[in-house]
Amino acid sequence: MNDPRLNRGREWLEQLLAMGGLSIPVTASWEVDSCWLTLDSSHLTPEQIESLIGTRGEAIDAIQYLANSILNIGRVPEEQSSYTIELDGYRVRRQNELQSLAEEVADRVRTSGEAVEITDLSSAERRQIHTLLKESTDLETESQGEEPHRRLVVRLRSEIA
């Protein structure tokens, strides 16, 4: 399938990396409802991989934010897409970590009855936790505070509707 959104994403990311002096092949594929742009880590040193991912994923999150902003500017909704940037399995590993964190926090809230704050998450990671817990009929989530100190609060769902 020759999807223009996949091609647009792949070409944009390869050009961005080339501007930084990196010639890295990028593959583009559909995973669930997102266009995954995967950098070929075999063309990178461990230091380059670490730099592109950044501390707590900040660099790869920034690249992903740029991709989603720039690639969707001026596009009608049916031409827009959600882009996920993957490098060296980082997104898959982080998703598993967030799944475990969500389960742990949910258990803690259910056991104690007390709200739990989760700090040090990016906005994308907070959104993932919201999504992971949204089907829980007994829990609710809310982001509070201002960046860079925004946090996610998980609590028992209010009985008052």
Furthest C-alpha separation in the chain: 57
Q: Are residues 20 and 70 in the same domain?
A: yes
Residue 161: pLDDT above 50?
no
Question: pTM above 0.85?
Answer: no
Helices 58-70 and 123-133 cross at an angle (nearest 10°) of: 80
Same structural domain for residues 104 and 44? no
Question: Within a domain: residue 161?
Answer: no
Which of these, 39, 38, 124, 33, lies nearest to 82 by C-alpha position? 33
- Average pLDDT on 38-42 reads 96
Asked if the model's pLDDT at residue 87 lies above 90, the reply is yes
CA distance 15 to 9: 10
Q: Which domain-ending residue is among 71, 88, 105?
A: 88
pLDDT tens figures, 105-141: 999 999 999 999 999 888 888 988 999 999 999 999 9
Claim to verify: residue 63 and residue 121 sit in the same structural domain: no
Which of 48, 63, 88 lies at the terminal end of a domain, its last residue? 88
Query: What's the total number of domains in the chain?
Result: 2
Do 145 and 114 fall within a single domain?
A: yes
**Rounded distance between C-alpha atoms, residue 4 and residue 2, angstroms:** 6
**Quick one: pLDDT at residue 120?**
87
Looking at the domain assignment, is residue 74 inside a domain?
yes
Query: At 80, which amino acid appears?
Result: Q
Q: Where are the alpha helices (DSSP H) in the chain?
A: 4-19, 46-53, 58-70, 90-112, 123-133
CATH number of the structural domain spanning residue 129: 3.30.1370.50
Question: Which distant-in-sequence residues (6+ apart) come within 8 Å of 27 by Cβ?
Answer: 10, 37, 38, 40
Of 73, 88, 103, which residue constitutes the final position of a domain?
Answer: 88
Residue 112 lies in a domain: yes
Q: State the Cα angle at 8 between 132 and 6, rounded to 5°.
A: 50
Q: Residue 119 is part of which domain span?
A: 94-156
So what's the pLDDT on residue 79?
83
